Amino acid sequence: MLAKRITVVPAEGTWVIRAGGAVIGESGNALELSNGDMPATIFFPQEDIGMAFLETSGSEAVTEGIGRATYFGIVTRSTLIENAAWCYPEPSDDLARIANHLTFDPNKVTIEQI
C-alpha cells in the first residue's frame, strides 16, 4: 500500500473566511494543503485572521503525517461555532510551512476565493 503524499503550495489568489455574517479573515498569502484523495485544505496565516473572533476550545486531535491539531471556536453575535478552526502549532518537519496558519471546517464557515 502506498503512503499518502501530503503537499503544501501557495494558494492562488485571495481567500476569505466568513462566519455568522462577519468576515473572519482574508489573505493573499494562504497555503493549499493536499493530502492524498482528500479535498485540498486552505491554511490562512494567523496574522490575516481576526483572532478576536476565535477562542481555544480545549480540543486536540492528531492527524497522521501532519501533527497534533489545536481547535478553536468562532464567536459570532448570536452563537459559538464549536471547533470550526484548527492549527498545527508543531507540524511534522516536512510541513513546517503551515505552522502559524489556521484552517477552517467548510461545513461550519464559508471559505472562498475572491
The pLDDT assigned to 4 comes to: 66
Residue 43 within a domain: yes
For residue 33, give its domain range: 6-113
What whole-number distance in Å separates Cα of residue 31 and Cα of residue 79? 28
Assign residue 29 the CATH number of its domain: 2.170.150.40
The pLDDT assigned to 36 comes to: 82
What whole-number distance in Å separates Cα of residue 9 and Cα of residue 29? 10
Residue 28 within a domain: yes
Domains of the chain: total? 1
Cell representation of residue 97: 510551512
pLDDT < 50: residue spans in the chain: 1-3
State pTM to two decimals.
0.90
Q: Rounded to a whole number, what is the largest CA-CA distance in the chain?
A: 48
- Measured from the Cβ of residue 18, the count of other Cβ atoms closer than 10 Å reads 15
What whole-number distance in Å separates Cα of residue 40 and Cα of residue 55? 25
The pLDDT assigned to 63 comes to: 85
